[in-house]
A and B are shown apart, each in its own frame.
Chain A
Amino acid sequence: MRLGKQGRHGMGLFIVLLIGALAPLSSAQAQASAPPEDWVSKLAGLDTAPDLELAALRQQALERVKSRADGVPLQRPPVATQLLKLPRLAVEIKFDEDSSVVRPESYRTLGRIADTLYNPALLPYKFLIVGHTVATGRRESNLTLSQKRADAIRGALVTTFKISPKRLQGIGLGEEQLLDAAHPTAPINQQVEVATVGKAP
């Protein structure tokens, strides 16, 4: 088919417009879905795998709550200091109130955690999901709720995004390891942490 001069111009304009339409779309997509390199770098760099006994840690937290030790949140030391040395990332995830069900507005964040854990640099590692709560309400309920929330995130990563269950564990520390100890009721204390804990089995 022969195109007249006008037709050629028309075609050229169409292609230019098409490129113009595609270019901002792809750069916007690239920005919105850029690899979360900062998350990857926060979780990278585990030197030596810590000797973590999760069952013992859970017991330790539960005993502290039951004995009512360290009653004042402002002066409460972290219950699991060994976690503080690990490469870790704190993430805001919204849950239904008093529930372990993740709110739809946080699905994107769950997906981003999955993308991060699938990053080739992190594929050889396993991770601990750590649930926390603010220091309001009953300490024991908070401990239970945070464990359920850590388990729920692990569950979503395994069932939805098919991350190997062998690479993920979950622990809830309630209000026993405040992320902002100076402000025990600040929302930042409900953030969920992901910590690198060793080589994947």
Chain B
Amino acid sequence: MSPIRPILSIVLITAWSSASAETMKFEDAAGILGAGCAKEIDTNCRGVSLDPARLKDCLLRNQDSLSPQCRTDYVRAFDAIQKRVAARSAVAKICERDAVKLCGGIPKEGGQALECILTATRGVSARCNQAIGEAGYR
């Protein structure tokens, strides 16, 4: 068997898993919604601000008049935003022990301990590293 196949497979798997691990950037998720549903928002939801409850409700109420593109995009965009938010709030809990051990604090948003964990090169647990990766902090 050619030795190139296993190497290529490893490269592919690594590329795939690292690409799928990080949640989508807010910029991209919001961009998908703004581009995919611009017309529908203007027509059906004029005056409704970008809001995960009200704008989503409005699009859902008008589901029948949405283009197939918008119908897919708004669900995908709000889902991606929600996933990144969840990934970010998970960091504090998952990395709590690491933060106490390495940085002497809890890695809450705005806290020094999160910055400390992010700059730590050694001693961060695999779970914490994964959580940081999913949250897109690196």
A111, B29: Cβ atoms closer than 8 Å: yes
How many chain A residues sit at the interface, stated as a range, is: 35 or more
Minimum CB–CB distance for A105 against chain B, Å:
6
| Cβ B110 vs Cβ A124 within 8 A | yes
The residues of B that contact A99 with a CB separation of less than 8 Å are: 47
Choose among A19, A108, A121 the residue that contacts B11 (Cβ–Cβ < 8 A). Answer: A19
Question: Which segment of A8-16, A46-54, A64-72 sits at the interface?
Answer: A8-16
**Roughly how many angstroms separate A112 CA and B46 CA in the complex, as a whole number?**
23
Interface centre among B4, B31, B85, B112 (most CB of A within 10 A): B31
Segment of B50-58, B61-69, B98-106, B122-130 in the binding face: B50-58
- Contact with A111, one of B25, B37, B38, B110 (Cβ below 8 angstroms): B25
- When the two chains form the complex, which single residue of B24, B81, B89, B115 contacts A120, counting CB atoms closer than 8 Å? B115
Which B residues fall within an 8 A CB radius of A?
A: 1-2, 4-5, 8-9, 11-12, 15-16, 19, 24-31, 33-35, 37-38, 41-42, 46-53, 81, 85, 88-89, 109-112, 114-115, 118, 137
Q: Which residues of A contact B (CB under 8 A)?
A: 8, 11-12, 15-16, 18-19, 22, 26, 29, 32-33, 36, 96, 99-102, 104-108, 110-112, 114-115, 118, 120-121, 123-125, 152, 155-156, 159-162, 164, 166-167, 200-201
